[in-house]
Structure 1
Amino acid sequence: MAARLEGWRRTAVSAALVGLTATVALYANRHLNGDIYWLLAAGREIAANGLPASEPFPTLNEGRAWENQQWLAELAFYGLERLGGLTLVSLAYSFVLGLSLLPLLLGSRNRRIGEVLAAWAFLLPLLVAVIDPRAAGFSLLCFSLLVVLVDGDRRRWRIWLIPLLVALWANLHGAFLVGLVLFALVAVGGALDARLGRRAESFPGRFLLLGLALPAMLVTPLATGIFDYLGALRGNPLLPELTFEWDPTWEHPALLLAIAALVGFAAYLLRRLPPPRPLEPVLVTAGFCALALTATRHLIWLGPVAFYLLRRIGPPGRIAVSRRWSLPALGGSAVLVSVWLAALAPAPNERKLATTLVEQVRRHPVDGRLAAPAGTGSLLLWRAPGQAVTIDGRFENYPAEELRAAYDLLRGERLELLRPWGIAGVITSHERAVEPLSRRGFRVERRSEGSLLLTRP
C-alpha cells in the first residue's frame, strides 16, 4: 500500500510539473513568428507532392538543391494545422515542450524534491530559446530522452535505443549533432572513470553504439548531403547579424549567468560526493558550457544537462510529495489552458511580419517578385503560395552575399538588382527606402503595422 501511494505521489508530481511547464510555454508564446509559416508551407508541399529534390518555392533559391532534412517536423505541424488551425499548433507545441520534462523527471524520481525543483526552475526560463513553434522543440524532447538513455549502466537494454533515436531526431531537426556530443562526452568520461577506478562499472558498448549512431544520422532524405547542409549552416557569417539565436553568448553578459548557474549546480552536487569524485559529470558540464558560449541558441541544452547531473551524482531521495500540492498545481494548469483556449487563442503574428500587407498581396498579387524580410517571405509562402518573393526564413539556403543584398534592397540600396531579380513590389519597414524606390517608379500602396507596401505599376 505504501509503495502504491508513493507511486501515485511521484506520478502526480511529474504530471503537475509537466502541466505547469506546458502552461508557461503556452502563455509565454505571445506571438507567432515566421518560422512556423515556413514549416507549414513546407509540410503542405511535402504532403501534396512528396519530398522534392530541388527548392519548390518561388524564392531566389528556386531550383537549387533543397537541403531540408526536417521533413517529419514539417508534416507534423502541417497535420496539426489542418486538424485544428494555429490554435492546435500552439497548444500541441506547448505540450511538446512540457513533455520534454517528463523523461528528465522519470530519470530523477529517486532524487530529492528540492534539487529536482531547482533543476526545473533552472530549465524553465531557458525555454525562451525554443518558445515559438519550431522544429527545435522536437530536438529538446529528443535530447531529454537521450539524457536518460545514455546511462546504460542501470538498464543496459535501453542504451541500444540510441541509434533509433538519432535516426528519428535527424529527420526532425538538425540539432541531433548536439545529442552525439552528449553521448561522446558520457562515453569518454565513463571510460576514464572506469580506468581510474572512480566508477564500479562502465558499459563498454557505449563506444560501439556511438559508432552506430553516426551512420544513423544519415537515414534522412539528404543522406550524405546532410553534411553540406550542416556546413552551409555553420559557414554563413551573416547569421549572427540576422538573428539573435546565432549571437555568441559571451557578447551578452546577462546570459552568462545561466552558464554560471549550471557550474554552481554541478559544484554543489560534486561537493556532496565522497572522493574519489567521477570525471564524467565534470566533462559533460565543461563541454556543454563551452558549447553554450558559442551561440545563444545552445543555452537550451543546459536545462536537461542539469537533470543529467542530478540523475548521475545527485543525493538519493524521493520526488514524491503530498498530492495536496501537486494536484492543485495540475488543476490550475488545466484551468489556465482552458482560459487560453476560450479567450486568447490563437496567438497573433509578430508585428514585423506585416500580416495586413501580406493579406493585401494575397488578394491582389504583385505581378513580379516581391522583396520582403525573411519572416514576411515565409508568411507569404503560406498565405499566398503563388507569389514570388526574394527570401524566406531558411537563411542557410542562401549565400551570404545574396542575403545581404536582399536586406540592402529593403533599405533602398542595391537598386541595380531590381531588374535582374524582377522586383515589382516591396514590403519594408524602412521609410528611407521610399524616396530611392519612388525614383524607380514605385509608389506607396499601403502602410500598416509599421511597414509599407510599395508597388510599381
Structure 2
Amino acid sequence: MPSTSALESVSERQTRLRPTLDQVYLVAALMLIALRPLLTPIPPHDFWWHMATGRVILESGTIPQVDLFSYTRAGEPFFNQGWLAQLLMALLHQIGGLPLIIVVQALVLTLAYGLLLRLCILRTNRVRMGAAILLLATLPLSFDNWTVRPQTYVFPLFAGFLTVLTEYRLGMTRRLWLLPILMALWVNMHGSFVLGFALIGIVFIGEAIRRWREQGVLGKTLDPSLVVWGAATALATLLNPRVAEVLGYVTNLLGSSQVTDLVTEWSPPTIRDINGAIFFLFVIVTALVMIYARSRPDLTDLLLFGAFLWLALGATRNIVWLGFVATPLLATQAATLLPPPSPRRFQGVPTMNAALIGLLAILLLIGSPWIKPALLPPDVGALLAKGTPVEATQALQALPQRPQRLFHAMSYGSYLIWAAPEQKVFIDPRIELYPYDQWRDYILLGQGADVEALLAKYAIDGMMLSIEEQQPLLEYARARPDQWREVYADDETVVLVTRNVQR
C-alpha cells in the first residue's frame, strides 16, 4: 500500500499537469514578455560601442578611461560607468554570439517584469487582472526602452529595490539587507543607480508620515532599520573603480547640453508621436482609476507616482521607470472596482489550459534566435535591425587604402567601433564625449550646409552616409565626381572616398 507522502507526490504531479486558468494567465504573461525581445532585432546605435568596450575590458583586463575609438577625440578622458554590463555583454558574445545575447536580454526583461507582476499579485491577490494590466498597459509604455544596452540590465535591480521596499512596507519580510548588494551591482552598470536612492527616500518619507498619522509622535515613527540599510546602500555606491567620482559623472551627464539638447530620449514626451501618446494615455487611465476607486491610494504609492511622473514629463527615457512604480498602484486601485475574487471562479478546462501553454512554448521556440532566421521572413527573423551597415563596413575594409578621416552617420560609428576597430570614427552615440560644436558640425554637414568649410575643417577623406538621414550631403558628393568616388552603395548606405584615396 503506497505511503501518504507518495500519494501526495502523485497528487502534486497531477496538479502540475492540470494547469488552472490563473496559471495560464501567469505563464502567458511571462512568455509574452520574453517573446518581444526575442523577435526584436538589435538596433545599431548604443549596442555596438558597448560591446567593443566590453571586448577591450575582456582582452586588456582594464577599464579604459580615455577615448580609444575616434580620431576627433582620441585620448580624451571618458568616464565609462557601465563597464560591468559591457563586460557581461562581451562575455556572452564570446560564449554564444548574438543569439545568446538576445536570449539573455529576454530573460533579463522577463525577470524584471515578472517581479513587477509578482508585486501586483501580492498587493491584490488577482493574477488575471495583474497580468492584464502588465500586458495591456505597462509593456506598451515600456517597449521603447527595451533595446539591448546596459540600461535594460538594471531593470531587475530597480524591480528588486521596489520588491524589497514594498515587502518592507507591508510588514511581510525584512530583506532590506539586499539593497546594498543590489546597489553594488547597479552602480557599476548604469547611471540610473541614483533612482535607488529616490526609492528609499520616498518610501522613508511616506512611511514616516503614515506612522505619524497613526501614532501622532514623529520621533517614534522613524524606523531605524531603513535608515541603517539606506546608509549602507549609499556606501555601496563607492564600490566602483572610480569611487565617489561616479556621482560627479551623473551630475555632469545631466548637465551636458549635447545630451539634453540633442538626444531625443532626453526630450519631454509629446503626444505627436506614438510613444508619447501611449504615455499620456497611461497617465490619464491611472488618474481615472484612482479617482473612481473605492478607496484612497496609499500615500507612499502616490509619492512614488508623483516623483516618477515628474521625471517622465521631463525626459522620455524616464517613462520606463514610471511604468515600474505606477503599475502596482494602478493594479491596487483597479482591484477596488471589481467584485471580490471567488474561491470557486472558473479555472478553464485543464487540457485546453495545457494546450495554450504548449502553444506559447512553441512560439517561444520559433522566436528563438537560433531558429527564427530560418523560419520567419527576413524583416522579422533578422538578428540585426535594418540600418546596421554590415556590408558597407566590409566593403570599406576591403579597400586597399582606407580613408583615415571618415565621416559617417552616428549609428554607423557605433558599428564601426565594433566591426572595424582599426577605422577610427568621426562621432558615435557616446554623446557626452563629443563637444556641442562638433555635434552642430555633424548635423550641418549631414544636411549639406557649409560642406566645403566643414570637410576642410576635419580633413575628411571618406564618407559612409545614410541615404535616409544624410541625403543632402550624398547629393553634394555625387554632383562632384571629380572629387568623390563611390565605392559601395545599397538601399541604405553609400560609401565614398576622395579621388586621392587609391582604389
TM-score by length of 2: 0.80
Counterpart selection for 1:409 from 442, 445, 469? 445
SS of structure 1 residue aligned to 2:421: coil
Residues 191 and 204 in structure 1, CA contact (< 8 A), matched pair in contact too: no
- Provide the C-alpha distance between the structure 1 equivalents of 2:279 and 2:70, rounded to a whole number of angstroms: 41
| Conserved? CA contact 2:446–2:471, under 8 Å | no
> How do residues 155-170 of structure 1 correspond to structure 2 at under 5 angstroms?
155-170=172-187
Q: 2-side partners of 1:326 and 1:309: how far apart?
A: 29
Alpha-carbon separation, structure 1, partners of 2:429 and 2:137: 30
Q: Deviations over 1:399-443 (max 9, x none)?
A: 222222233333343544545544321112334324655499333
The one-character-per-residue Cα deviations of 1:232-282 (angstroms, maximum 9, x if unpaired) are: 32223344664432221146476255345346436636865656x632111
* Residues in 2 aligned to 1:96 and 1:221: alpha-carbon distance in whole angstroms: 25
2:472 matched residue in structure 1: 432
Offset of residue 119 of structure 1: 2.6
Distance 1:144 1:298, change over 3 A: same
Answering whether residue 286 of structure 2 is matched by residue 261 of structure 1, we say: no
Q: Deviations 1:28-85 (Å, cap 9, x if unpaired)?
A: x145222211121111111011212222223423211221111111111112222222
Structure 1 position 375, deviation (Å)? 1.0
Q: Is residue 342 from structure 1 mapped to residue 371 from structure 2 by the alignment?
A: yes
Task: Map 1:40-439; keep pairs closer than 5 Å.
Answer: 40-49=51-60, 50-110=62-122, 111-120=125-134, 121-151=136-166, 152-153=168-169, 154-197=171-214, 203-239=223-259, 242-250=262-270, 252=272, 255=276, 257-262=278-283, 264-265=285-286, 268=289, 272=293, 274=295, 278-309=298-329, 327-340=354-367, 341-344=370-373, 347-364=382-399, 366-412=402-448, 413=450, 415-419=452-456, 421-429=458-466, 430-434=470-474, 438=480
Aligned-partner residue type, residue 465 of structure 2: T
Tell me, in whole angstroms, the C-alpha distance in 1 between the residues paired with 2:270 and 2:260.
13
**2:494 aligned residue (449, 452, 456):** 452
Q: Distance in 2 between matches of 1:273 and 1:372?
A: 57
Q: Identity of paired residues, percent? A: 25
Over alpha carbons, which structure has the higher Rg?
2
Q: Contact (CA 8 Å) 2:411, 2:429: kept in 1 or not?
A: yes
Aligned with 2:174: secondary structure?
A: helix
- The alpha carbon displacement at 1:378 in A equals 0.8
SS of match in other structure, 2:496: strand
Aligned 8 A contact 1:60 1:390 in 2: yes
The unaligned stretches of length 5 or more in structure 1 are none
Q: 1:12 to 1:251 in 2, by over 3 A?
A: closer
State the secondary structure of the residue aligned to 1:223: coil
Query: Relative to structure 1, is the Cα distance of residues 350 and 8 closer, same or farther in structure 2, using a 3 angstrom cutoff?
Result: closer
Separation in 1, partners of 2:291, 2:173: 25
Separation in structure 2 between the aligned mates of residue 203 and residue 326 of structure 1, nearest angstrom: 46
* CA shift for structure 1 position 13: 4.8
**Which amino acid counterpart does residue 32 of structure 2 have in structure 1?**
L
Asked if the contact 2:366–2:372 (Cα under 8 Å) also holds between the matched residues in 1, the reply is: yes
- Partner amino acid for 2:72? L
Distance 2:120 2:223 in 1: 20
Query: SS at the partner of 1:159?
Result: coil
TM superposition shift of 1:216: 2.0
In structure 2, distance between residues paired with 1:318 and 1:227: 51
Taking a change above 3 Å as real, the CA distance of residues 324 and 202 of structure 1, as seen in their structure-2 partners, is: farther
TM-score between the two structures when normalised by the length of structure 1: 0.87
| Paired positions, count | 455
Once residues 309 and 302 of structure 2 are traced to their aligned partners in structure 1, the CA distance between those partners, rounded to angstroms, is 11
Of 447-456 and 237-246, deviating more is: 237-246
CA RMSD of aligned residues (A): 3.4
Distance in 1 separating the partners of 2:356 and 2:259: 41
Query: Which residue identity lines up with residue 395 of structure 1 in the other structure?
Result: I
User: Partner letter of residue 214 of structure 1?
Assistant: A
Question: 2:377 maps to what in 1?
Answer: none
The separation in 2 between residues aligned to 1:380 and 1:447, in whole angstroms, is 17
Report the Cα offset of residue 21 of structure 1. Answer: 0.7
Aligned mates of 2:179, 2:98 — CA distance in 1:
33
Which residue in 1 is equivalent to 2:5? none
Shifted more, 234-243 versus 53-62: the winner is 234-243
Counterpart selection for 1:39 from 50, 54, 62: 50
Do the aligned partners of 2:42 and 2:148 also contact (CA within 8 Å) in 1?
no
User: Structure 1, residues 106-145: CA drift from partner, whole Å, max 9, x if none?
Assistant: 3333421343023312122123222321111112221111
Offset at residue 25 of structure 1 (A): 2.8
